[in-house]
Structure 1
Amino acid sequence: MAKKQEEQQISKIKSASQLSGRQKAAVLLMTMDVDTAAQILKNLEISEVEQLSVEITNFKDLSQDIIEEVIEEFYQLISASNYLVEGGIEYAQVLLEKTYGLDRAKEIMEKIRVLTTVKGFTVLKKTDPQQLANFLAKEHPQTIALILSHLMPEQSAEVLAEFSHELRGDTIMRIATLGKVSPQIVSEVENVVDQIAEGTMSQDLTSTGGYQLVANILNKSNTANAKSMLELIEEQDEEMALEIKRKMFLFEDIVQIDDRGIQRVLRDVDTRDLVLALKIADEKVKQKIYKNMSERAATVVQEELEFMGPVKLKEVEAAQMKIVDTIKLLEEQEEIVIGGKGGEDVFI
């Protein structure tokens, strides 16, 4: 179903500008012979190969015009890189302006600058979290937030765990509210990344971060640190904290709760909300719920689902959200435990 929706979205694409960087990379690979593409894939991380493979399988009936746009953009970037190596940034800027005009030249140079910085982030991803935390601790929290937003959530969580309580809270708030980033901050980030890369061992840098990234980081943090950071966010913005909590746990994640926890959750859930929430739920979720209900109660829910007529999607999502809120509340009260958290809790 998800794959079909993805294919439908791709079929609506009319220009290469609507493609993500990963999708453009997939298009380029599709235009190469198998041996050449294989050589390129050998130099990528396995997770990157998997992501590109998914993009390739989603492409069907992509127009020749879009393919040519992607190839042309790639050629322009390669040309700009060569100009940069030959005569520096000013030389590259002049040649690009003469070749493509002022506006297009600026756009290409910006992409080159971003790609150069992304290479630095690749180095950071291989840096020890404690060592990285030591380097970042002296930087401005906004700079730290932007850098952490480009790392894997697991690594970001480990780095945050090394910070002081105050710096940790300030940084996580800034990650949550990252939007458009000023050129001055981007420049500072580039300098910090270069310093760390040299001393120890975009993606589009103008729009990153957000609630989902914070949720991912907190999911990979141990319970104590996650709770502490959420409380700091809540003190400053209750609504933001609520949205992050919701994104930390999706309705489908119910399968991560043990049977005793499911039974505790069901005691606080209205039957009507449960039926609505299960309307579009995965079969694994349904079975997890049914097996933790009495046979009679499970039958009632199944019958209501069977005879339920069409309902608005927003009603189903609202019902799921109510149950998610209940789950998060019970977790905060330590009445249930959700599997998949980062770090280890000590049981005695």
Structure 2
Amino acid sequence: MITNVAPTAKAKEEILPGIQKAAILMVMLGDQVSAEILKMLNEDEVQLVSREVARLKKVEPELAEAVLEEFYQMTAARDYIVKGGIDYAKSMLMNAFGPETAKRLMDRLIKALGSDVASFDALQKADPGQLAKFLHNEHPQTIALVLSHLNPSQAAALLASLPPHLRPDVALRVAGLDQISPDVICKIANVIGQKLNAIGEFSRESYGGVRAVAEMFNRMDSETSKDILSAIETQDGNLVETIRHLMFVFDDTLLIDPQGLKEVIARVDRKVITLALKGTGEQLKNHFLQCMSQRGADMMREDMDALGPVKIKEVEAAQQTVISVIRALESEGVLSLRGTVGEQYVV
């Protein structure tokens, strides 16, 4: 990475017209890479850049480095916006380059991308119910592309809000997504942006796939996810098996070794665990109780006995809280699973 660029070179780079920066960048990248870039430009842009390259004389090394540095920083900034929106981009840029450079990059990028930045950020903050209202008339592939650019919780809510007959088809299409052309995304973005003003330009990156579908189902209520999986199974049984393998349901806590489960219990409120265990089988309850102290287990049993009827949604919310802690601990390497996630148990 280029660092410690001379202030004088940086000052020159700041006032250079964009077309001159593009010409310097093309020269620095070399003939082969530049040729590939030119293929992506229209005829007028090719002429402008080519003319500017021809006009270039000797470029000071420090100035060339400053242009390359700006190119790297702007690319990183755009990538951060695509992945997590404006707030995420600001945070990442501040960590990477400091507050002053981060502000300068964001100002430039927002000015360059215009409404694209705001509309993409708005999409990630949009209410899933509102998105579903206008998306249900779109082609399932369009819906799948939108879903793949949302966070798992938001995508799950949106998928659940779609008409039941659409859900399996959309989930199948998300699972099949891989590398997506920016041109395709932009065309779809223009259509959706007119309706909700909530979509922008995206980079070529992997957003979909089976794991994305599994993450959605993990955040859905169990009945909806079961219905969609059953419908998909009639079309692609192997895909459903893979999705279930990647899903982590509350019953899968049986796969956690005692030491790991003790860590989970230590991080989750006892009332949440009590609610999460409501209606589960004795095997699962005992698995938790055996990882507690005698006093803790006795108190848990008393809480279970005293717990009256509760809504299924409340139980599922408590189970999702436990699952979130399990995932966090697994990513930290604190706990491990004894078997295959997604195995079925009689509860």
The structure number with the bigger radius of gyration is 2
TM-score for both structures, normalised by structure 2 = 0.47
